[in-house]
Amino acid sequence: MKNPWMSLWMSAANQWAGAMRGFWTAEMHRQQTQMMNEMTKQMMQFWSDAYLTAPTEKKRR
């Protein structure tokens, strides 16, 4: 025979677990987006600085 109290408790626990999994997933996506944006910014700065710096002139004797 099923225990109705155990069924109610398990349903509530499963509902909370689903909510927490949603919060964790959303936070993970926010952090991944922030890391990708920072990486893209650093990469663009690195390559644009490499192309935009003026070449140094060699001193002639």
Instruction: Determine if residue 35 is left, alpha or beta; phi over 0 gives left, psi from -120 to 50 gives alpha, anything else beta.
Output: alpha
Whether the model clears a pTM of 0.75, i.e. scores above it, the answer is no
- Give the pLDDT of residue 42: 95
Q: What is the pLDDT of residues 23-55, one digit of tens each?
A: 999 999 999 999 999 999 999 998 888 777 766
